[in-house]
Structure 1
């Protein structure tokens, strides 16, 4: 790729003028290119997982759809200040599962997931996300999860091993029932009582 022959300062300047979707598509061109994407100061991007995978920068949001089936491209809708309808439609040329795209984005942008909000996600997609985020140890700053999911034995260990650095918020009927301080699972404490959270202690 001739682009890679330019001086690093030139490459950085070009990358900083690209939008997040262009950066993602460019990262797929080669492994070497993917390692350079963070030169665009991608750490300043906010990445949230809700009913879409949302990348926010300033007042603009890039809402990436979470397709059920694998296809050759993923649709992205651009909004301003979260106002719909979308101002523009773009595509990411991706032919694997959406969960793998999530991990790819976090890796090349070198940034954490700011928020995972289960309230607006189907359980099936949330479980997919939890499984891969636990396996890959993706950093999550804050996560909202419904109490019923947190109580499932099949998910308990996976949730316990998530790399949540700030808050795990348990909800029920749309209301917050408990906030758990982030950190090592066995050291998490209920924010209200200050006592270890029995639901996350290791036996």
Structure 2
């Protein structure tokens, strides 16, 4: 059995997550608690920005052997980072306008108690992701809910969508496309199978969203452990 697929103990995973948090200069590892049960990583504690909460989650996902991450970290803004909802909404609008990948005229942003909600319709999955990414690092934001719908243009058939995704997966050196089954129902893609890491799972999802004609992606990929 290869090192990449060997089962790892919860203690080993916990130790590596703690080390990864300490390695990431954007984080203060002492603020984040880590527990692991059956390969499921749970993050707790308090941080002073949504960006740090998100960075901690990403750090945990980078560790080999984790099956999933539950992010229970609380965002507690210091007084210097407090912003009114009007200020946050204004900053969010400007951030979307400055992002070349976001069709800002198709997106509505609402700020309530420091929490941003995105609504609207875009043609591509990467546009939906870009809109959320543009807002994560704004000062005063406690969280982001992305309700943007993807409404693709064009009339590609299910077989064409499946073929395009399969070809794209096969091109990637960091993915074992043979372990992933692709199902297409209308404009919805379903990925089923097993991958070696959470990052590999995320990359497969990104590729599926990038295919023309895709309105939704369901991920049923388990992590080998």
* Normalised TM-score (structure 1): 0.24
Which structure is higher in RCO with an 8 Å CA cutoff and minimum separation 6? 2
* Normalised TM-score (structure 2): 0.23
